[in-house]
A and B are shown apart, each in its own frame.
Chain A
Amino acid sequence: MPRAVITGIGFITSIGNSRTDVLRSLRELRHGFKTVEFLGNPRIPVRVVGAVEGFETDSTNWRDWRYPERYRFGPEALRSVSPHGLYALCACEQALEDARLGAGDLADGETGLFCASAGSPFLFYHYLRQQEEARGERGSPMGMVSSIAGTLNFNLAAHYHIRGAVCGFVSACASSSHALGYAIDEIRLGRQRRVLVVGAEETHAETVLPFAAMRALSVNPDPGSASRPFDRRRDGFVSSGGAAVMVVEEAGLAAERGAPVYAELAGWGQAGDGHNVALSHPEGSGLAQAMRRALRDAATPPDGIDYVNAHATSTPVGDRSEAAALKAVFCAGGRPAISSTKALTGHALSMAGVLEAAICALAVRDGFVPGCAHLVEPDPACDGLRLPLETVEARPRAVLNNSSGFGGSNVCHVLKPFPA
């Protein structure tokens, strides 16, 4: 069976807009949070966000946007994207350069594109309002393709002339984990030799505040402690955005090209909670099953895992559920180091899965395990789990990446050094 490996990574994130910066933030446990006032309303209690630096995308008009000078895109590329589409274009450029690929290499029919985002509620609302003002008689010709869920795959497929499999994935905070999982399958089944996996999100009020309405967001105003997964005093997640891109290739193709490999995507698994539309199962049953399936797929026993990048978003219910799932899976053997890097990045929603898989790839290649930033007083629900407070400088033999989304959708990946 063909094996899937990672040959390129691109980051536009709250903790850095390059692999070098992200790596430094992870090792030194530097968070990417800042204080904001949504909609100019000081009464909104959510005050902290993980925003990307170097971009100005507050306007609904793409012509007003500013982005780092190393990237240049023409009107044809920008007029039909949303802010997170711009982040994704930049992250794709990084990932392609990292994988030693030119944009033209993607039009070979052997390359697919799997994407995940929530769309752009910011632009969608703007265009609907514009249409309403015109009493339905006029709308922007680019309103649809720039804002609905799927905008990433529409735009990137056109921009890079992708002729392979093109698809978007919608499972909320597990979306890009699904994209990555099915990319692995696509490679293993021999349907594609390369898949670009992209996750991206925005931190505009229109994306973030609906989560406040669910009481899922932290109202802690301190950027240094608002996101503290597994801590007893956690009170919700901190929203984040940007883009993360991964070039997944069949190992033989990577070898033919002489492309350096970060890690092998050794297996994945998924399972539903069958429980609630928004809340995790109290015992983490679906997540535990997804972990077991990923481990089985990767032919790796629990005691072969040295690090788990937890989904833990810093919500009281979700973290407790994941702690239960981790105990269930690892009670019989193995005591991996566990951390949630959302303590540093915030929760990047649909993008979280591929972002954290990319973080795991760096951990495997560069030989470290990020510590649990901002964890002061672990929740008793975590008793028995190994939650290192500092970064551990040691190469993990295998790592597990967890993601969970609305409706109890759980997805896990196993990454290993390659060659082993």
Chain B
Amino acid sequence: MPDPLNARIKTMIVQTLRLEDIDPASIKDDEPLIGTGLSIDSIDALELVVALEKEYGIKIKSSEESMVALSSVSGLVAFIRQKADPSRLPPA
């Protein structure tokens, strides 16, 4: 069964960055998010960070931490599960 947090994050990426031509489900779990097929750069990444912090009440403290968090969708899911209050997460 697909992970609802994984699906929600892919949808957030598409909605926040207005990637209108991209089906959220087509984003690969382990592909680097920045600098690859999605054409996300470091400034887009900061916008994504703002949106993720708001949605999950987390704090991504530094650009180094943000690079780790945004390494891939899988990396992001793991980061959010580790940092967020469980009550803000969809049930796995």
Contacts and interface: CB of A to CB of B under 8 A. Distances in A.
Interface in A126-142: 130, 133-134, 137-138, 140-142
B1 interface: no
Interface stretch (B28-36, B42-50, B69-77): B42-50
A72 interface: no
A141 B18 CA distance: 18
A63 B18 contact: yes
B17 A63 contact: yes
A130 B41 CA distance: 21
A188 interface: no
Interface in B21-61: 41, 43, 46-47, 49-50, 53-54, 59
A134 B17 contact: no
Given A134-B50, A134-B53, A141-B43, A61 B59 contact: no
A61 B47 CA distance: 10
A13 B54 CA distance: 38
A75 B41 CA distance: 10
A141 B54 CA distance: 16
Contacts, number: 21
Contacts of A142: 43
A171 to B, nearest CB: 33
A61 B18 contact: yes
A140 B18 contact: no
A69 interface: no
Contacts of B17: 63
Contacts of B47: 140
A206 to B, nearest CB: 21
Contacts of A64: 18
Main SS class of interface, B: helix
Give the one of A63, A137, A140 with max B CB within 10 A. Answer: A63
A365 interface: no
B47 to A, nearest CB: 7
A229 to B, nearest CB: 42
A140 B44 CA distance: 10
B19 to A, nearest CB: 9
Given A63-B17, A63-B18, A134-B53, A141 B46 contact: yes
A140 B50 CA distance: 8
A63 to B, nearest CB: 4
A140 B46 contact: yes
B59 A137 contact: yes
A74 to B, nearest CB: 10
A79 interface: yes
A63 B46 CA distance: 15
Contacts of A75: 41
A63 B19 CA distance: 9
Interface in A108-137: 130, 133-134, 137
B18 A133 contact: no
A63 B18 CA distance: 6
A79 B43 contact: yes
A137 B53 CA distance: 11
Contacts of B54: 133-134
B73 to A, nearest CB: 20
B55 to A, nearest CB: 12
Interface of B: 17-18, 41, 43, 46-47, 49-50, 53-54, 59
Interface of A: 61, 63-64, 75, 79, 130, 133-134, 137-138, 140-142
21 contacts: A61-B18, A63-B17, A63-B18, A64-B18, A75-B41, A79-B43, A130-B50, A133-B54, A134-B50, A134-B53, A134-B54, A137-B59, A138-B49, A138-B50, A138-B53, A140-B46, A140-B47, A140-B50, A141-B43, A141-B46, A142-B43
Q: Closest 9 CB pairs between A and B?
A: A63-B18, A141-B46, A138-B50, A141-B43, A79-B43, A64-B18, A138-B53, A61-B18, A142-B43
